[in-house]
Amino acid sequence: MMPHNLKRFGLLAFLLLIASTALSQQPSNIPPEAQQIMRQTLAENGYLTEEMHSHFWQIVRSLGEEEDINTGMTFLKSNLQLTKTFQTATWESMLLSWESNELRRTDDLIIMMDNFEDFIVENNPFPQGTSNHSEFSAAFEAEYRNSMRSVEAFLTAAANRRSYVTTPNGGFPLSKDMIQRVLDNIDSSFSRIDRLFDPQWRD
């Protein structure tokens, strides 16, 4: 059985990817040093070194048994493309909202927001009927709704061309240039996070 803290780590790390650092997901259940490594890896001007990778995996391995860790990390890696698509659609919607001076969502974002929760619940990494399966679904739903509130806050701020946005997780600066930089660097950000989530270091 996966320990509760590791299960929360896998879930919240995944949600951190969905919203990205700039969408203010800073869950307290992830050890602070691991949070910092993921934020730096995902940042639009981010980087990943072998030392960061080694330290991250040292933290991960301290959270539970190898089999449990493999379950959580396999789930994260298998859904990286989905999180990248969701993040891209979110930032594209923010840019569209900023440029049109009204809240706009791309077709991709509308579709994903309508179906994302169901997709993740259906792809729960734990066997159906187990306590882990039901706990994961319940925890994901709660964190998903919190993430969606952050997305809505950023879209609203972009539509009103605000230089600062307040979310359920705090306040953050915002600008059209920042939105464009994030979009320009999504591919490289996700390439780095894919390398971070691989237990074997790759240059």
pLDDT tens digits, one per residue of 71-100: 777 777 777 888 888 889 999 999 999 999
Q: How confident is the model at residue 135 (pLDDT cuts 50, 70, 90)?
A: confident
Helices and strands (DSSP H and E) totals, the chain: 9, 2
CA distance 106 to 46: 26
Q: Do 181 and 39 form a contact (C-beta atoms < 8 A)?
A: no
Q: How many CB atoms lie within 10 A of CB 149?
A: 13
CA distance 144 to 187: 23
How much is the pLDDT for 30?
63
